[in-house]
Amino acid sequence: MDFSKTVTAMGSAIGARELIKAVEGLSLDDALGVVGIERRPSALSQFLPAIGLITVSAAIGAGIALLLAPSSGSKLRAKLADGIDDAKHRLTDSISRIETTRNDRHTVS
């Protein structure tokens, strides 16, 4: 058996494995970047930050309105505590729904 052919075959097999590892790590964005194009961002990825800012602004405005509204300190503290508890429950529910949706998508894929 020819030693050089054996070494060449082994080198080709090792090179093929390395090539497969390199290709597995590539994404569609990487391939498009090589060509010089990129994906257009989805409408949802542009819309979600705006909704988040509106929500945070509304929460801050509501908190300021509560602080400036004429009421006794104990009533104001009770209202704030109830509002914070309600917001915490809604946030927890939203996070659990998002996690459930994400897990369902990963299970299907």
What confidence tens digit (pLDDT) does each residue in 3-51 have? Answer: 666 666 666 767 667 767 776 777 777 777 777 787 777 777 778 888 9
Q: According to DSSP H, which parts of 1-109 are helical?
A: 3-24, 28-35, 43-68, 73-108
Residue 105, pLDDT score: 73
Residue 58, pLDDT score: 92
3-state secondary structure of 4: helix
3-state secondary structure of 10: helix
In a domain, 78, yes or no: no
CA 60 to chain centre: 24
In a domain, 46, yes or no: no
In a domain, 12, yes or no: yes
Please tell me the total number of residues recorded for the chain in this structure. Answer: 109
**Count of alpha carbons within 13 Å of 63, Cβ hemisphere only?**
9
In a domain, 8, yes or no: yes
- The two three-digit tokens of residue 46, written as one number: 């542009």
> The whole model's pTM is what?
0.35
Count the domains in the chain: 1
Which residue range(s) make up the domain with 21? 1-39
Residue 6, pLDDT score: 67
Mean pLDDT of 84-99: 88
Predicted confidence (pLDDT) at residue 100 exceeds the cutoff of 70: yes
In a domain, 15, yes or no: yes
| Band (54; pLDDT cuts 50, 70, 90) | very high
Residue 5, pLDDT score: 67
Q: How confident is the model over 74-91, as pLDDT tens digits?
A: 887 888 888 888 889 998
In a domain, 67, yes or no: no
In a domain, 32, yes or no: yes
Q: Is there a contact between 29 and 38 (Cβ–Cβ < 8 Å)?
A: yes
In a domain, 24, yes or no: yes
